[in-house]
Structure 1
Amino acid sequence: MMNNKSIIALMLVTLLTGCARQSATTGEQETNTATKGALGGAVIGAIAGAATGKKNAAVFGALGGAAIGGGIGYYFDQQEAALRDELLNSGVQVKRVGENELQLIMAQGIGFATGSYELSGSIFQTLNGVAKILNEYPKSSLRIIGHTDSVGSSESNLTLSERRAESVGEYLIRQNVKSGRLSTTGYGERRPIATNDTAAGRAANRRVEINIIAN
């Protein structure tokens, strides 16, 4: 008869071998996010269960943790795919940050004039698409971060970046994204993604990023 450790080890091997996928870029096998979440949840659940000292608690903890972790990973896999489809050719970059966080980088697609926190009308359709997916996947929190170019003082740019983040947040709220999911902040000119020596670089730095985080 297998002991707790053997059962847990077998479960982890099964997760790894059964839920691998082939990378579209390398052709090699890779573990998807849902599986990674399940593995992490299984380990944490097993530790928590074992700490209780009860018979088979580690096994049940591993099973419960795997279910929770895999569910979160699957949820974010689906949300990521939906955002990529919705924002295709919009100029918005969708990045995966860790297992349970997504980042939308609206650089040249967001359209802020120098010194302004007013949203350009050209971005409304894109933000409508973002709001649509956020409303379809409500089990996440949003951290909206504003940035500026280096024109002007660092103090005024910090305030400007905060207002840019607030502008995006307010627009999303008007599209029925719950205000309780949102937080906003600004970093001014401190985190450029391009040179501030050219007009194109400064335009890229006038941006807002939306981090989508698992609750």
Structure 2
Amino acid sequence: MLTFRRLIIAATALTVLSGCATQNPYDNQGQAQNSSGMSKTAKYGGLGALAGAVAGAAIDHNNRGKGALIGAAVAGAASAGYGYYADKQEAALRASMANTGVEVQRQGDNIKLVMPGNITFATDSSAIASSFYSPLNNLAGSLKQYNQNMIEIVGYTDSTGGRQHNMDLSQQRAQSVATYLTSQGVDAAHLSVRGAGPDSPIASNADVNGRAQNRRVEVNLKPIPGQQYQQQQ
């Protein structure tokens, strides 16, 4: 009979194999891989499986080896499911936001879109600029296709003017984006808005270009707690 230690090794091997076996359709684009060449799908699935192995062994005291293998399989599949979903969503967003001025960032489980002030809002305004409609339309289309996210919209301002005015203005900017996205069919139940005013600048407020970068909107896409993610076709 295999010892518990040998079964944990087997569970770890299952982790690696299950990650490698999940084909990422965007491997050739380089968008959804880390520096080692492993897709985020494989990485999340592998880490989930290893954690599941430990948890499964702890729960099944009578047959720790069996519990480890079951825990690895279940947790690995769930983690890889979200990783695969996020990989595809990230690649689709990068394609739809190409040449729009919107930056797409991947931060672990989350995807962030940074929309700078030179395409979003004029100084001291929460009215959507004409140059902003095309990126927002692209975003709305993507969010309707990939609709299994919590969507946090955060508005920012530059440092010009009083703090309370900027806090109110940033909230209004975030709300303007949310209102437009829902008008285009994005599910309002998954949306939240927040105004951060001049906090967390990404450039210097000492010049016009820096203030334009700070006068931005960020859209944060996060997994829905408890959501079972299926492979998006």
Distance 2:36 2:113 in 1: 27
Q: Please, which runs of 5 or more residues in structure 2 have no aligned partner?
A: 225-233
Q: Deviations over 1:98-129 (max 9, x none)?
A: 1x210000014532111111111221111010
The Cα of 1:6 is off from its aligned counterpart by: 2.9
Distance 2:179 2:20 in 1: 45
Distance 1:134 1:109 in 2: 23
**2:69 is matched with which residue: 55, 59, 64?**
59
| 1:31 match: secondary structure | coil
Structure 1 stretches of 4+ with a deviation exceeding 6 A read 19-23
**2:124 is matched with which residue: 115, 118, 138?**
115
Q: Is the 8 A contact 1:87 1:129 kept in 2?
A: yes
Q: Please, which runs of 5 or more residues in structure 1 have no aligned partner?
A: none
| 1:211 match: secondary structure | strand
Q: Which moved more, 1:34-43 or 1:8-17?
A: 8-17
The residue aligned with 1:198 is 207
The residue aligned with 1:47 is 54
**2:170 is matched with which residue: 154, 161, 171?**
161
The residue aligned with 2:230 is none
The residue aligned with 1:148 is 157
| 1:94 match: secondary structure | strand
Distance 1:109 1:93 in 2: 13
The residue aligned with 2:15 is 12
| 1:96 match: secondary structure | strand
Percent of matched pairs sharing the same residue:
37
**1:185 is matched with which residue: 194, 199, 205?**
194
Q: TM-score, normalised by structure 2?
A: 0.84
Change (3 A) 1:201 1:29: closer
**1:77 is matched with which residue: 57, 67, 87?**
87
Q: Which moved more, 1:72-81 or 1:11-20?
A: 11-20
Q: Is the 8 A contact 1:114 1:151 kept in 2?
A: no
Q: Is the 8 A contact 2:120 2:217 kept in 1?
A: no
Number of aligned residue pairs: 212
Root mean square deviation of aligned Cα: 2.2
Q: Is the 8 A contact 2:170 2:197 kept in 1?
A: yes
The residue aligned with 2:144 is 135
Distance 1:169 1:17 in 2: 38
